[in-house]
Amino acid sequence: METTSTQQNTVIKAIVLDIEGTTCPVTFVSQTLFPFARRQLSKTICSENRPSNVTAAIEEAIAEWKNDPESKSQALLLRASNQNQPTSEDIIHYFDHLIQNDRKSTALKELQGIIWEQGYAAGELQSPLYGDVVPALNAWTQQGITLAVYSSGSVKAQQLLYAHTTDGDITNRFSQWFDTRTGPKLNADSYRIISQSIGLKPASILFVSDHPRECDAAAEAGMETRFCLREGNPFSDGGDHQMIHNLGEIKL
């Protein structure tokens, strides 16, 4: 598959950015956000005065669980005291399994976002950004380029992260937000849906990510791509995608 990252005669009108390893260090997510959510998970689920959005996330998780073909997930469901209506303790075991195996559960992402919102509001969480991010966003905004986010974290989690950065609230730089409800990040159809939502042909959109297979999927959909290699990122080989080390290297 050809995944050329520059299309000489195409004008980029929109940029879609990944978050982890692209605009924010992977360590913030893995060493701060995830452990914080995991510590608060039991308290949030078992609260007697549980908010309606938490209950909705739990109900979505139960529906996901029943359709989860993974063997360990099914084994946990078989051990649940009531398979049709698992208890809070059963749900905690399932969420813990998803977290330990880094499963991309939409329900889990939604619940994590709710927990992180509480942490941000209490001042316990603040998002670090790479130093080149805000200057690049400002420059692109001044050029009239549409900016969007596509991350495996829920839209709520994305907006919270950008609303509580070390550079202040920068959510106004972005006009659209996409998460796994749009579709899997390794599926080209997800990027086609994003281009339709933005209202531009894929060739007019640049997607930036630290994950080479996400770049592959975006390129398959017709988008231009950049593979972002930051210190500490898990992937170092961007394949055929043009590599950058900071957003300032992107020349449109």
Q: How do residues 128-175 score in pLDDT, each as one tens digit? A: 999 999 999 999 999 999 999 999 888 988 999 999 999 999 999 999
Same domain as 177, residue 226: yes
* DSSP code string of 56-80: HHHHHHHHHHHT---HHHHHHHHHS
Same domain as 141, residue 71: no
Q: What is the pLDDT, as a whole number, of residue 9?
A: 60
* DSSP code string of 174-201: -SEEE-TTT--TT-HHHHHHHHHHHTS-
Q: Does the residue 2 lie in any domain? A: no
Query: Is the per-residue pLDDT at 233 higher than 70?
Result: yes
Tell me the range of 36-50, 109-123, 215-229 where mean pLDDT is highest. Answer: 215-229
Q: What is the CATH number of the domain that holds 68?
A: 1.10.720
Q: What is the CATH number of the domain that holds 143?
A: 3.40.50.1000
Same domain as 112, residue 60: yes
Domain stops at, among 99, 121, 143: 121
Same domain as 106, residue 39: yes
Same domain as 96, residue 53: yes
* Amino acid identity at 108: L
Domain stops at, among 65, 90, 121: 121
Q: List, for residues 33-69, the tens digit of each pLDDT value.
A: 989 988 998 999 988 888 899 999 999 989 989 988 9
Q: Going by DSSP bridges, is the β-strand pair 243-244/176-178 parallel, antiparallel, or unpaired?
A: unpaired
Q: What is the pLDDT, as a whole number, of residue 218?
A: 98
* Cα first-last separation, the chain: 24
Same domain as 207, residue 136: yes
Alpha carbon separation from 44 to 39, 40, 97, 115, 183 (Å, rounded): 10, 6, 17, 8, 27
pLDDT confidence bin for 101, thresholds 50/70/90: confident
Residue ranges making up the domain that contains 46: 30-121
Same domain as 175, residue 108: no
Same domain as 168, residue 72: no
pTM of the full predicted structure? 0.81
Q: Does the residue 4 lie in any domain? A: no
Same domain as 225, residue 149: yes
- Alpha carbons 80 and 71: distance in angstroms, whole number: 14
Query: Is the per-residue pLDDT at 95 higher than 50?
Result: yes
Q: Does the residue 8 lie in any domain? A: no
Query: Is the per-residue pLDDT at 215 higher than 90?
Result: yes
How many residues are listed for the chain in this entry?
252
Which comes out higher in pLDDT, residue 5 or 148?
148
pLDDT confidence bin for 7, thresholds 50/70/90: very low
Of the candidates 109, 93, 98, 88, the one whose C-alpha atom is nearest the C-alpha of residue 43 is: 88
Q: Does the residue 48 lie in any domain? A: yes
Phi first, then psi, for residue 88 (nearest 5°) are -60, -40
Domain stops at, among 89, 121, 153: 121
Q: What is the mean pLDDT of residues 188-210?
A: 98
Q: Does the residue 7 lie in any domain? A: no
pLDDT confidence bin for 107, thresholds 50/70/90: confident
Task: Give the chain's mean pLDDT.
Answer: 92
Same domain as 172, residue 78: no
Q: Does the residue 3 lie in any domain? A: no
Q: What is the mean pLDDT of residues 62-89?
A: 88
Which comes out higher in pLDDT, residue 107 or 138?
138
Lowest mean pLDDT among 2-6, 77-81, 203-207: 2-6
Q: What is the pLDDT, as a whole number, of residue 244?
A: 98
Locate the DSSP E strands across 20-150: 146-150
Same domain as 161, residue 109: no
Query: Is the per-residue pLDDT at 3 higher than 50?
Result: no
Q: Does the residue 9 lie in any domain? A: no
Q: What is the pLDDT, as a whole number, of residue 163?
A: 97
Same domain as 225, residue 113: no
- Alpha carbons 170 and 141: distance in angstroms, whole number: 12
Report the side by side order of strands in the sheet with 205-209: 176-178, 146-150, 14-17, 205-209, 224-228, 243-244
Structure tokens at 33: 């956000």
Helix (H, G, I), strand (E, B) or coil at 105: coil
Q: What is the pLDDT, as a whole number, of residue 136?
A: 98
Query: Is the per-residue pLDDT at 94 higher than 70?
Result: yes
Q: Does the residue 204 lie in any domain? A: yes
Query: Is the per-residue pLDDT at 8 higher than 70?
Result: no
If one counts the domains in the chain, the total is 2
Structure tokens at 7: 């299309």
